[in-house]
A and B are shown apart, each in its own frame.
Chain A
Amino acid sequence: MLLAGALDTGCSRRLPDGSAAGWPFLQRQKGIVMIGERERYQQRGDPERGRLIARLADRAMFIRLETVRLAEIPGAGHYTGTFSAAELIASLYYAEMRYRPDEPSWPARDRLVLSKGHAAIGLYPVLADVGFFDRELLDDYTRLGSAFGDHPDMRKIKGVDFSSGSLGHGLSVSVGMALAGRVTRTDYRTFCMVGDGELAEGQIWEAAMAAGHYRLGSLVCIVDRNYLSIDGATEDIMGVEPLTDKFASFRWSVQRIDGHDLDAILDAYDCLEPPGPGQPQVIIADTVKGRGVRRMEGDVGWHVGRLAGADYDEVIAELQGGLQPLTSGASDG
């Protein structure tokens, strides 16, 4: 069953089907090959849009490359949950969010609460790249006394809007930020990126209930729906579907997109209602954990891992070649 909140959107990119088990997961199980993202971008035709898409694709690849580089410093990293979110993070900071790198505490800035804080290794390079701090600082990633750990610390890193790491907290924090925007009459948006495994945390649904209750139209939750948590497939460990119906029943407006399709991501942002009293908005982004590195795609074993020696060089070369079409065969690990 699909609830009215998910259907009543008038936006072409809003959820098409409401299928219970999640389509990429099923597609991969069935061996279906997804269409290459780049080819689809070119079908759109608008040159300006095309240039933006190309830039975002380049920055998403930059996120992946930097993740591989930084993870080598401590010899361990959250590769796959960062790769699944690369297009989402890139599109937020290079296309959607409003912020001032020279004024990190600007009261009217849009916020991102990275509730899945273990993807911070992909956020730091972006914050450096857009000018919050010098990129060289990242060379000390995870070293004694560094500001940059596996999870982001708002007191030490400019541009980090809230510290995270403990799953399930971020959406509540975002509700607080959105309520504060209402109290202070400031029209910023609060984005909150959550993982899908994280949705098993009860506090997420306390926050979802509160956001619906308070009609926090300035709150946008992005679910990195990569279908895997640490121990296995989410639907095996603790099923989170039907996600669309869940959020809709908590009085959210719902979009469901391919989270690696930059056109779809930008469309989803375009479809957001302006900040103000109204339904909170969730973008459920179906993604592939480990996307971009064939040996990691859909492989639960790479949640935390290390690329040593020749593997490191191979992966760097693979990423520099750009995002390749996804095949289900590559994801058996």
Chain B
Amino acid sequence: MADLTSASPALPQADGQASGQDLSGLFRGTGEVQALKDPKSGRGIAVTSIPAFVAGEELADLAEADDRIVVLTADLAHANRTIDFAVRHPGRFFNVGVAEQNMMSIAAGMASAGLIPFVGTFASYAALLACEQVRTDCAYTGMPVRILAHHSGMSLGFYGTSHHSLEDLGIMRAIAELAVVCAADANQLRAILRASLGYGGPMYIRLGRGRDPQVYAEPPADFQIGRAIRLREGSDLAIIATGSEVHACLGAARGLAAAGISVRVIDMHTIHPLDRNEIVAAARETAAVLTVEEHNITGGLGSAVAETLADAGLATKFTRHGVPDEHVVLGPPAALYAHYRLDEAGIESVARQLLER
């Protein structure tokens, strides 16, 4: 057994389940194709709702009418489906090989000449390996580079810490003038990509692993960068979630509602700049605030909300829920979400603990 810090829950017994690891685009093999399941609810999901899979297609559509769009990736064209863009716009697609820092600076150079580059790679490499290129070449210069940081959080499961990004929100939101936006599902990603064409500065767009279940029936027409979306009204508790955790939080809210607990659910898709009004309203209008993110509890959404509450002088029952301050244990994604209570049942139990405090 792994040597765990006290912050981590005890490891569950091996359950013999299928891995649930997302190898789409990275894998060719034989055997039966498994039905896709949402690792946080266990329910089946439709292939059309896979966010990482729509980026290439959506950008290819947008590029029909906007010749500023170019797409770059670092040898992950299949994993992030930017190949769908490459097929339709081969002259505007650049696979730069396994060189993420180079890619980020190339994108900045392209942007300086009037293009809008979309750069796709694993979140861990976009935010950590190429962090300084993002800061200095994209943000400091105000270049309209759009970073598609996919397979964020611990969604690459047993690939381990090298492939996880549980620090990226903390790092990226500290960079001045860099918008940090998390997509909850495919339709929201489409809305983000459309909104990005009218946005002036650089953007870090955090995506899940490509299997996130549907939150929005269609791309929200009134989507605005920096404006949170209230998905559910309630007064006993406000859950502020982002990206890959929004869907699970809605499920948890339904479970709590069945027990008579009224829960507000807020999709805080933009971490920077932060919708402070919505946070203050949540603290004033509900009895407790819970933040939920697939991120280390240090530095990300929870920290941003805590700062806002403190700045506003608001004392309320409050819990930051995410991954504790440790390098996560090894396991397939579904097992990790259960282990860290980031699935529906886990979030519901964390919420109950908060309310019982």
Q: Is the interface of B mostly helix, strand, loop or mixed?
A: helix
Q: How far is it, in angstroms, between the C-alpha of A103 and the C-alpha of B289 when the chains are bound? A: 53
Q: Which of B106, B109, B114, B132 has the most CB of A within 10 A?
A: B109
Contacts of B236 in A (CB 8 A): none
Q: Is the CB of B140 within 8 A of A163?
A: yes
Determine whether A161 belongs to the interface, using a CB cutoff of 8 Å to chain B: yes
- In the A-B complex, the 9 residue pairs with the smallest Cβ-Cβ separation, listed nearest first, are A176-B109, A172-B105, A180-B113, A206-B102, A176-B106, A173-B109, A206-B99, A176-B110, A177-B109
Determine whether A210 belongs to the interface, using a CB cutoff of 8 Å to chain B: yes
Determine whether A11 belongs to the interface, using a CB cutoff of 8 Å to chain B: no
Q: Is the CB of A155 within 8 A of B101?
A: no
Determine whether B244 belongs to the interface, using a CB cutoff of 8 Å to chain A: no
Segment of B1-9, B89-97, B188-196, B328-336 in the binding face: B89-97
Contacts of B136 in A (CB 8 A): 163, 165-166, 169
Task: Report 9 cross-chain contacts, Cβ distance below 8 Å, ordered by A residue.
Answer: A169-B137, A172-B137, A173-B105, A176-B111, A179-B94, A180-B115, A183-B70, A206-B101, A213-B97
Query: B96: nearest residue on chain A (CB-CB)?
Result: A210
Q: Which of B104, B107, B113, B114 has the most CB of A within 10 A?
A: B113
Determine whether A174 belongs to the interface, using a CB cutoff of 8 Å to chain B: yes
Determine whether A203 belongs to the interface, using a CB cutoff of 8 Å to chain B: yes
Residues of A at the B interface (CB closer than 8 Å) are 107, 113, 153-155, 161-163, 165-166, 169, 172-181, 183-184, 186, 203, 206-207, 209-210, 213-214
Determine whether B76 belongs to the interface, using a CB cutoff of 8 Å to chain A: no
Q: Which of B108-138 contact A (CB under 8 A)?
A: 108-115, 117, 132-133, 136-137
Q: How far is it, in angstroms, between the C-alpha of A154 and the C-alpha of B108 when the chains are bound? A: 12
Nearest-Cβ distance from residue B88 to partner chain A, whole angstroms: 15
**Could you count the A-B residue pairs with CB atoms below 8 Å apart for me: how many are there?**
98
User: Known contacts being A155-B142, A163-B136, A165-B136, is A107 close to B113, with CB within 8 Å?
Assistant: yes
Q: Which of B99, B106, B108, B117 has the most CB of A within 10 A?
A: B106
Determine whether B141 belongs to the interface, using a CB cutoff of 8 Å to chain A: yes
Q: Is the CB of A210 within 8 A of B106?
A: yes
Contacts of B97 in A (CB 8 A): 209-210, 213
Residues of B at the A interface (CB closer than 8 Å) are 70, 91-92, 94, 96-97, 99, 101-102, 104-115, 117, 132-133, 136-137, 140-142
Contacts of A206 in B (CB 8 A): 99, 101-102
Q: Is the CB of B101 within 8 A of A203?
A: yes
Contacts of A181 in B (CB 8 A): 113
Q: Is the interface of A mostly helix, strand, loop or mixed?
A: helix
Query: B145: nearest residue on chain A (CB-CB)?
Result: A176
Query: A203: nearest residue on chain B (CB-CB)?
Result: B101
Q: How far is it, in angstroms, between the C-alpha of A176 and the C-alpha of B136 when the chains are bound? A: 15
Q: How far is it, in angstroms, between the C-alpha of A179 and the C-alpha of B70 when the chains are bound? A: 10
Query: B142: nearest residue on chain A (CB-CB)?
Result: A155
Query: A176: nearest residue on chain B (CB-CB)?
Result: B109
Q: Is the CB of B102 within 8 A of A177?
A: no
Contacts of B107 in A (CB 8 A): 176
Contacts of B105 in A (CB 8 A): 169, 172-173, 175-176, 203, 207
Contacts of B142 in A (CB 8 A): 155
Q: Is the CB of A154 within 8 A of B112?
A: yes
Q: Is the CB of A154 within 8 A of B101?
A: no
Contacts of B133 in A (CB 8 A): 169, 172, 203
Query: B104: nearest residue on chain A (CB-CB)?
Result: A172
Q: Is the CB of B99 within 8 A of A173?
A: no
Q: How far is it, in angstroms, between the C-alpha of A210 and the C-alpha of B109 when the chains are bound? A: 14
Q: Is the CB of A162 within 8 A of B91?
A: no
Nearest-Cβ distance from residue A152 to partner chain B, whole angstroms: 11
Q: How far is it, in angstroms, between the C-alpha of A186 and the C-alpha of B67 when the chains are bound? A: 14
Q: How far is it, in angstroms, between the C-alpha of A181 and the C-alpha of B114 when the chains are bound? A: 10
Q: How far is it, in angstroms, between the C-alpha of A186 and the C-alpha of B91 when the chains are bound? A: 15
Contacts of A163 in B (CB 8 A): 136-137, 140-141
Query: B103: nearest residue on chain A (CB-CB)?
Result: A172
Q: How far is it, in angstroms, between the C-alpha of A12 and the C-alpha of B99 when the chains are bound? A: 36
Q: Is the CB of B109 within 8 A of A175?
A: yes
Query: A154: nearest residue on chain B (CB-CB)?
Result: B141
Nearest-Cβ distance from residue B60 to partner chain A, whole angstroms: 15
Query: A155: nearest residue on chain B (CB-CB)?
Result: B142
Q: Which of A163, A166, A172, A207 has the most CB of B within 10 A?
A: A172
Q: Is the CB of B106 within 8 A of A184?
A: no
Q: Is the CB of A184 within 8 A of B115?
A: yes
Q: How far is it, in angstroms, between the C-alpha of A180 and the C-alpha of B115 when the chains are bound? A: 7
Nearest-Cβ distance from residue A166 to partner chain B, whole angstroms: 5
Q: Is the CB of B106 within 8 A of A166?
A: no
Q: How far is it, in angstroms, between the C-alpha of A178 and the C-alpha of B106 when the chains are bound? A: 9
Q: Is the CB of B114 within 8 A of A107?
A: yes
Query: B130: nearest residue on chain A (CB-CB)?
Result: A203
Q: How far is it, in angstroms, between the C-alpha of A163 and the C-alpha of B94 when the chains are bound? A: 23
User: Known contacts being A163-B140, A180-B109, A181-B113, is A172 close to B132, with CB within 8 Å?
Assistant: no
Contacts of A176 in B (CB 8 A): 105-113, 117
Contacts of A179 in B (CB 8 A): 94, 106, 109-110
Nearest-Cβ distance from residue A85 to partner chain B, whole angstroms: 21
Q: A153-B140, A166-B132 are known contacts; what are 20 more A-B pairs with Cβ within 8 Å?
A: A161-B112, A162-B141, A169-B137, A172-B104, A172-B133, A173-B105, A173-B109, A173-B112, A175-B102, A176-B106, A177-B112, A178-B109, A179-B94, A179-B110, A180-B112, A181-B113, A183-B70, A203-B101, A203-B133, A207-B106
